[in-house]
Amino acid sequence: MIIAVFPGQGSQTPGFLEPWLEIEGVRPRLEQFSQWAEVDLIEAGTEADAEAIRDTRVAQPLIVAASLLSWELLTARHPRGFDGVAGHSVGEFAALAAAGVIEPEDALRLVGIRGRAMADAASLTETGMSAVIGGDQSAVEARLAELGLTPANFNGGGQIVAAGAASALAALAAEPPAGTRVIPLSVAGAFHTHYMAPAVEVLRSAVSAVSASSPTVTLWTNRDGSVVADGTEALSFVVDQIASPVRWDACMSAFAAVGVTGIIEFAPGGTLVGLAKRALRGVPSVAVKTPGDLEAAVDLLAPAATQGESE
């Protein structure tokens, strides 16, 4: 059971697309992605600084484009082997495309709309997000409630992401729950909270014009870690999820329940593999950060393909 996972916002770093552009055919593909998302992804992924790619309008299409690009390059080299897919937050759009629910064009177009709508919602109030690592979960949730913050991401591995007013996040950092570390995240708003409600209807309207197909592989949702077999329902879930928590912990529990034997995280990889190493100890994983990581991903997929051919 090899599962492909796609990262969410905050995984981007300045210049991370540069090595990918050395591969033949990548530049025109990214130019096409840029037209669909209405963002210059090549400039964003090679020349823009950290603050520029922190902008939600840029970050979300940039991450999904990188994920789909690396997915296409890997599956061209090794078309068999994946048994399931899941994405973290905006990464769910890459997962939907990888599962055949929507076309890459739809994924990039919708993510462009999502990023702009969420940026507009974030501009209404000064908000943000911080990762709370360690400590007792009930104590962490109690402290967040005390400050009026929302546990927006349950990431597993002892990590909860708090979201809400900037002043409340500052208070959390000043007086964190016992045994925790609080790390501000490079995002521009309190995503997956009620602050994002205005963006929900914008994306719902855009999604209504998209044709959805049934997933071709197992598809897990951030909503509660369950499997979604209906494409239209999967699209509805990613709309609602803008203003509701990400249950990545539930997704990883679901991976364990089906006997996951390997995880491959697509570009800009690293975050989800890091969580899996703590929550799914002993499960082999590969984070595809650069083109050089594609061979390790192929090697992880190879035993799965060989087993499938012998059955």
Tens digit of pLDDT for each residue in 8-53?
A: 988 899 999 999 999 999 999 999 999 999 999 999 999 999 999 9
Read off the pTM: 0.91
Give me 177's structure tokens.
């729950």
* CB hemisphere CA count around 181 (13 angstroms): 5
CATH 3.40.50.740 fits 2-123+193-310, yes or no: no
Q: Is 88 one of the catalytic residues?
A: no
Dihedral of CA atoms 60, 98, 104, 271 in degrees, nearest 10, equals: 20
Q: β-strand 2-6 against 262-265: which pairing, if any?
A: parallel
Dump pLDDT digits (tens) for 235-281: 999 999 999 999 999 999 999 999 999 999 999 989 999 999 989 99
Question: Given a cut of 90, is residue 162 above it in pLDDT?
Answer: yes
- Distances in whole angstroms, Cα of residue 43 to Cα of each of 16, 19, 23, 114, 230: 11, 13, 17, 20, 36
pLDDT tens digits, residue range 171-200? Answer: 999 999 999 999 998 788 899 999 999 999
User: What are 103-132's pLDDT values in tens digits?
Assistant: 999 999 999 999 999 999 999 999 999 999
Chain Cα centroid distance, residue 242:
12
Superfamily for domain range 127-184: Malonyl-CoA ACP transacylase, ACP-binding (3.30.70.250)
CA distance 228 to 151: 24
pLDDT at position 306 over 50: no
What is the percent of the chain where pLDDT is above 90? 90
Q: What is the pLDDT of residue 256?
A: 97
Q: How far is CA 190 from CA 30, 124, 138, 161, 308, in A?
A: 29, 11, 21, 10, 43
Look at phi and psi of residue 19 and say left if phi exceeds 0, alpha if psi is from -120 to 50, else beta: alpha
17 class by beta-carbon count within 10 Å (0-12 exposed, 13-18 middle, 19+ buried): buried
Q: Which one is catalytic: 192, 194, 208, 226?
A: 192
What pLDDT score was predicted for residue 157? 80
**What does the alpha-carbon distance between residue 161 and residue 148 come to, in Å, rounded to a whole number?**
14
Q: Is the pLDDT higher at 32 or at 54?
A: 32
Predicted confidence (pLDDT) at residue 307 exceeds the cutoff of 50: no
Say what angle helices 197-207 and 104-122 make with each other, to 10 degrees: 160
β-strand partners of 154: 160
Mean pLDDT of the chain: 94
Farthest CA pair distance, the chain? 59
- Catalytic one of 67, 70, 89, 285: 89
Mean pLDDT for the stretch of residues 62-69: 98
- The predicted pLDDT at position 308 comes to 43
Tell the residue number behind the tokens 């997962």, with chain if given: 95
Question: Would you kindly state where each structural domain of the chain is located, as residue ranges?
Answer: 2-123+193-310, 127-184
Instruction: Quickly state the pLDDT bin for 287 (edges 50, 70, 90).
Output: very high
Does residue 89 carry a catalytic annotation? yes
pLDDT of residue 309: 43
Whether the CB-CB separation of 172 and 163 falls below 8 Å is answered with: no
pLDDT at 158: 87
Q: Tokens for 243?
A: 């203003």
pLDDT value, residue 304 = 54
